Amino acid sequence: MKVAVQCESPLLQRSIELFLQNNLSSLKQCDVVIRDKKILDSYHSLYVSSEDEADIKKPFSSSGLYLALDRFYNKIINIESVKAYDEEVDVSSKDPYAALEEKIEVLTQEYKNKLLMAVKDFYE
């Protein structure tokens, strides 16, 4: 996963960069952007703050940061896989069981991802 950091606070910026030094990328090539300012129109953005609605609450540890990134990335993958599934499935296909089978596979994958996130949250 490629992460870009765009914080107004230089101390927070440098702290996150130190934690994620192996995953840092430019803003144009990143999968996720971590910001300390809430931007509503940004889809792949994580908000760091001490507020309740923050994706990553301050103070945070390295493991907490990685778990929040993992949860967010899995959520993005689930949304994109459902969108891709909806675009790929043709309702008028000749084999009605193929569409059902694909739908079951997508739902099973979503369930698996949610279950893994619950286990990771429990051991956090």
Question: Nearest 5°: CA angle at 108, between 106 and 109?
Answer: 65
User: Looking at residue 51, what is its pLDDT?
Assistant: 87
Query: Is the per-residue pLDDT at 14 higher than 90?
Result: yes
Distance from C-alpha of 33 to C-alpha of 31, rounded to nearest angstrom: 7
Query: What is the rounded CA–CA span in Å between residue 10 and residue 17?
Result: 10
Is the confidence at residue 24, as pLDDT, over 60? Answer: yes
Q: Confidence band (pLDDT; 50, 70, 90) for 41? A: low
Q: Cα–Cα distance between 76 and 70 in angstroms, integer? A: 10
